[in-house]
Amino acid sequence: MKPFFCLQRTTYGNVILLTPFLQKKEVIDWDNEGIVVEVSSSADASLKETIQYRLYSAIDFAVDSWIQELKYIPRLINSAATFLVVYFFLSLVVRDPIPIIDEMVGSIAASIGVYLWTASKNRKSELAMKKRTEMKNLVDACTYRTEEDLRVYEDLLKQFDESAPIMLSDKISGNNDQFSSVSLPMNAPQIHEYLGMFLSQQEKNKNVIDQLAVTPMSGKRRKQLAARLLSQTKSRKIDLPLIALYMITAGEVNQLRLT
């Protein structure tokens, strides 16, 4: 059973939910096994409601994407058939002073309308509703387990949230100081993987992760990256503290690979 982690971000009062459901494929392939959400302390009603809402949203998004991919060919055929029928109808039945143009515009509009209508119908299909209901029932029946090791990550995130952005920018880019060595729990590799998926949901954060994966970096490039990180975090385009936590867990993962 793959773990679900909930990190409570006390500085900003929000919740970081790290789960397999960050990948659409995991939702669809989930084999009706139970869901256990690990929290650093007992979850109150408000936290449970937040977690349930986040998981529901992930399920809706994944199922909608899955059913559209599954029904893509029939939807495409319906749209193409509509285009041809409307085109020939307008060409042979409706007389207009400007040939072809009116037929093309009408046919394209009709085919797009059918495409969107079919997509909406697919989202409400019996197959989609069944999968959505099965997964949400698992969420409703999920259990919560207190795992004090998660406090290590929450404390680190609190520390990074309260740190000066310029200092974090330098450390993340490796421009000057490096992060101090931290002893992390055994679940660090899984946390690192989920953090990568969580951050990749926003394009700007994903770009930073991709840049950090490029090694080695020259001193000039590190300075440029540090400046870019500082600028983007001031305009709230990236989540610098969460990226810092990602880097800390990356260090632990690298150590495990070397042992």
* Residue 69 pLDDT greater than 70, yes or no: yes
34 CB-near residues (< 8 Å, 6+ apart): 1, 138, 141, 142, 143
Q: What pLDDT score does 30 carry?
A: 87
* Predicted confidence (pLDDT) per residue in 177-200, tens digit: 677 777 888 888 999 999 999 999
The token pair at 187 is: 């679940």
Task: Tell me if 37 sits within 8 A of 51, measured CB to CB.
Answer: yes
User: E strands of the chain, at which residues?
Assistant: 4-9, 14-18, 36-39, 143-146
- Mean pLDDT value of segment 19-43: 89
- In this structure, the strands spanning 36-39 and 14-18 are unpaired
How sure is the predictor about 203, in pLDDT bands with cuts at 50, 70 and 90? Answer: very high
Q: Specify the residue for token string 């969420």.
A: 139
* Residue 240 pLDDT greater than 80, yes or no: yes
d(CA 253, CA 193): 10
Average pLDDT of the residues of the chain: 83
d(CA 52, CA 106): 44
Task: Give me the DSSP letters along 118-184.
Answer: HHHHHHTSHHHHHHHHHHHHHHHT-EEEE-TTHHHHHHHHHHHHTS-HHHHHHHHHTSS--PPP---
How sure is the predictor about 254, in pLDDT bands with cuts at 50, 70 and 90? Answer: low
* Predicted confidence (pLDDT) per residue in 155-175, tens digit: 999 999 999 999 998 888 887
How sure is the predictor about 221, in pLDDT bands with cuts at 50, 70 and 90? Answer: confident
β-sheet bridge partners, residue 146: 39
Query: In the chain, count of helices (H) and strands (E)?
Result: 11, 4
- Bigger pLDDT: 100 vs 4: 4
